[in-house]
Chain A
């Protein structure tokens, strides 16, 4: 049984470890430690991508589940004469959600506390227009909680351009299942994946095929899976955060099965396979096309892997802002992953090169296209020779044009 408490425990740990994209070494160590504790074998790349493996009986094809452990954050861009720091976002997010954030700045020697604030001439009258300041990273500054009033003071502290900035997560876990924090994207998904692994290990389920669990470190900037896949991986399921829209009714406990994202449609057959599993396990879900979403799937395809891709997402609110998820949605994602691990592959014969006889089909006699009916052949319904005769009659003075179709 997937345990909600276990997911919450993993999540709280993950939220406590800052991991803006590019500053992920420590969260990598944490994941490796958890994998070792569960006696799961893994490989670690030089930059920190983790490839854990749950061995199956067959190795000719394999499947992979990917979750990213990097998060959004920011970086020091310039140290200003007044001792404030200009910043640049890490990942794609609006400065609207940066305003008021408590942050930690990591210099090489030590860390500092501070707040991201809009550039307001504080202490001057409101006429100077707090409301008129644009929502733009150029109008955000970092106020260090240090007695530093000019550029030299800041430099003397040891801070420099390029230092990483991590957001405080301000985590709250409520009894009713809601979890509120920054950076739930994608620590919540990672917690669900860790609980899935724990469950698979403790239940001693025998897998038919190797299952790789990939923890990537640069999803937020668009290149997560490029170096993590192996050629035998035929299917890649990405676990990530998907925002709800206000139109959806009570969807917070559901799994979102996405059909595609800004990088195009996901694999038809793998998505259909997951769809069947959701139905079979009676897991609440919705299908959705994530128009403005980017994830590790695109990175795998861009890197040149011919791999089937799909995305299963937990329901979240206000992504990259003050995020909120419901624990049940994470439990349901983990339930789907367990079902997926135990299911046969989408296609048994799914090596990188296949015979056309084994190749998949999307059209059936039932859903085949039915073209529009052509209009009848003009010559078969209109005899232009007799029309000529009619014209001749008209020109002869027998004018009955009003009967014609042109009127």
Chain B
């Protein structure tokens, strides 16, 4: 099924924001610059926002009514790594930031951020050359203790690293290597969740340009610690009744997610999402001809979970852009991001899910 909605999405804007955000490194804990960038984009769209001390952004479009509100949430932080040791051989040991396999880190070109300068380098397995180690290369385990960073500086030992000013705890960001194909595929690291952020900004632009007043207060939050499980806890007003997370959806064998259309998540590791919210979002897709599919993510957490854990009694949903090889060599199709924009646009204008007052008589 192709999208039959006539709603035009500004693809150029979406792609420009996506590629700019990919150029700004933002592993969890190192997100200041990306928060600033998003604030600047919101200002240009004329959208009010608040910024918390650590960098969570709470944007708001006032609705016709304020007795309850809805939040769409999108995280700006990405997976990455941190320096855990300066090795005697002059290499760096590392640990992941966020939950991902070292298999996908191998070969990654990286920037290491010390306080006074940055360094270039590459993640390599401990046995990195077939000429030197022959078949032993194939039996080296895949884990974070079996990879190291080769820093592109003239270094012979741990003291050389120290003298350069590299320290344990320095952030490591992976090059995104983005590519847009003529067929509309976008291949890059960190589509999770900069692709989602670009879709949300594009939806906000569409709402602004069409002078839409949402039915109830509409918050768009950009969180900064989703990859470590605490993104949305501090950013919800007490009248928020509905919470829609925007995030990546894993496309894989036996998964129903696709790289086109919106993939609505019915359940993830934290349990089922709100029944009524899921049905409402399906209904919006159906009535506006937005391509969609539903899926269950078995090994997956998102900001919705962090909001619930922080004690918010909210109806939660998760809408995703299907992406192949998540937390690895990610690829999605621009049409899935456009479908997300359309869904967000119509969702903002929809009625509140019934029974969303804080307490029910």
Contacts and interface: CB of A to CB of B under 8 A. Distances in A.
Interface of A: 234, 247, 258-260, 263-268, 271-272, 286-289, 291, 298, 301-308, 347, 350-356, 359-363, 366-372
Interface string B142-178: 0000000000000000000000000111110101000
A287 B169 contact: yes
Contacts of B27: 265
Contacts of B36: 356, 359, 361
Contacts of B95: 289, 291
A355 B39 CA distance: 10
Interface in B38-67: 39-40, 50-56
A260 B29 contact: yes
Nearest to A351: B53
A265 B171 contact: yes
Nearest to B228: A264
B120 interface: yes
A367 B310 contact: no
B295 interface: no
B28 A264 contact: yes
B52 A353 contact: yes
B53 A367 contact: no
Contact of A259 (B82, B111, B228): B82
21 contacts: A258-B169, A259-B169, A260-B82, A264-B28, A264-B29, A264-B227, A265-B27, A271-B169, A289-B83, A291-B84, A302-B229, A347-B53, A351-B53, A352-B53, A354-B51, A367-B115, A367-B116, A367-B117, A368-B118, A370-B111, A372-B175
Contacts of B32: 268, 359-363
A352 B36 CA distance: 16
Contacts of B116: 366-367
Contact of A306 (B25, B56, B113, B120): B56
Nearest to A303: B310
Contacts of A302: 229-230, 233, 306, 309-310
B51 A356 contact: yes
Contact of B28 (A265, A271, A362): A265
Interface string B22-33: 010101111011
B118 A289 contact: no
B68 interface: no
A369 B25 contact: yes
A301 B233 contact: yes
Given A353-B53, A363-B32, 15 more contacts: A259-B168, A259-B169, A260-B29, A260-B82, A264-B28, A264-B29, A268-B29, A289-B169, A291-B84, A301-B230, A304-B311, A356-B51, A361-B33, A362-B33, A369-B113
A287 B53 CA distance: 24
A306 B118 contact: no
Nearest to B38: A356
B74 interface: no
A369 B53 contact: no
B299 to A, nearest CB: 18
A303 B30 contact: no
A223 to B, nearest CB: 11
A307 B32 CA distance: 15
A307 B233 CA distance: 11
Contacts of B98: 264
Q: Give 4 closest A-B pairs by Cβ, nearest first.
A: A259-B169, A264-B228, A265-B29, A304-B310
Contacts of A367: 113-118
B234 interface: yes
B55 A265 contact: no
A372 B168 CA distance: 24
A362 B113 CA distance: 9
B97 A265 contact: yes
Contacts of B312: 304
A286 B33 CA distance: 28
A368 B311 CA distance: 38
Contacts of B228: 263-265
A96 to B, nearest CB: 22
A288 B168 contact: yes
A366 B113 CA distance: 10
Nearest to A259: B169
B225 interface: yes
Contacts of A287: 167-169
Interface in B288-323: 306, 309-312
A372 B169 contact: no
Nearest to A61: B53
B109 interface: yes
Contacts of A307: 54
Contacts of A359: 32, 35-36, 39, 51, 55
Contacts of A361: 32-33, 36
B260 interface: no
Interface string B104-131: 0000010101111110100000000000
B58 to A, nearest CB: 8
